[in-house]
Amino acid sequence: MASILTESSRPIHGEIAKLDSIIEMHVHTNPDSSDSMLSKEELVTVGIEAGLSGANLAEHDKVLERHQQESLRSAHPDFFFNFGMEVSTDLGHMLAIGLKEYLPGIRRAEKLREELDKVGGFLIVAHPFRRLFDPVTAMRTGETFDLTPEQAAETMPVFKVVHTLEIANGANTPKENAYAADVARLLGVRGTGGSDAHSSSGLGYFATGFEVVIDSQETLLEELHAGRFEALQFESAGIFSYFNPPHDQ
């Protein structure tokens, strides 16, 4: 069967997606992310109601322990859990998939990539343009961000280190997401979507769709490396549309 996600023509923004797996790629749960109020049980209940097939836990600088992983998977056989993490690095927040635990030195994004390469992992820069267009941030830092998407794609060091970027993040402004989508297009990569939810509110607002059933980290990594995924936006319970905003040029 031909892949619907790697055809040369990209899906149209807003078109309803008919895909086998819809994964919330960026979510924080309590107590493993101390700033989250979302319990894992709530994630499953609310996630299934929204139409998610699973979630990538992106706890801050932490991967869940093996015994926690096993008990979660056996308690929720109908909801796929992947155990990633969101790492704070010198080049921003990164969604890292494939590491078994936090490793020394991965605060440096290059080291993080090196460690992921050893295990066939995947690296996504999360919300790369968050607050860069914000006048308050500009006032604080004394800098305004005035790169064109072309310049950002070409010159920002972060894009030499990651496999791809998050183009749809539920805590971003629409402008930040549209800009990131533009940069992904210029880099020639598919971007991911995730809510970045820290509570049940907004959970699954953005997600990442796959055309095969994702039921293991191996399959998830295989599809990510092959670029067979698309960022999605929640429409109504069980219905997601493609997030592939049209660009200006």
Residues in the site for Zn ion, rule: CB under 5 A? Answer: 86, 93, 126, 196
Nearer to Zn ion, 176 or 211 (CB): 176
- Name the minimum Å distance from CB 59 to Zn ion: 9
b (16+ CB within 10 A) / e for 50-68: bbbbbbbbbbbebbbeeee
- Strands (E) across the chain are located at 21-27, 54-60, 80-89, 92-97, 122-125, 164-169, 192-194, 206-210, 230-236, 239-242
Task: For tokens 């067979």, name the residue.
Answer: 228
- Name the minimum Å distance from CB 57 to Zn ion: 11
Q: Report the C-alpha gap between 184 and 83 in whole angstroms.
A: 25
Helix (H/G/I), strand (E/B), else coil: 73: helix
Nearer to Zn ion, 86 or 182 (CB): 86
Nearer to Zn ion, 11 or 84 (CB): 84
Q: Is the peptide bond before 135 cis (omega within 30 degrees of 0)?
A: no
- Name the minimum Å distance from CB 49 to Zn ion: 22
- Name the minimum Å distance from CB 58 to Zn ion: 6
In this chain, which residue has its C-beta nearest to Zn ion?
Answer: 93
Nearer to Zn ion, 196 or 230 (CB): 196
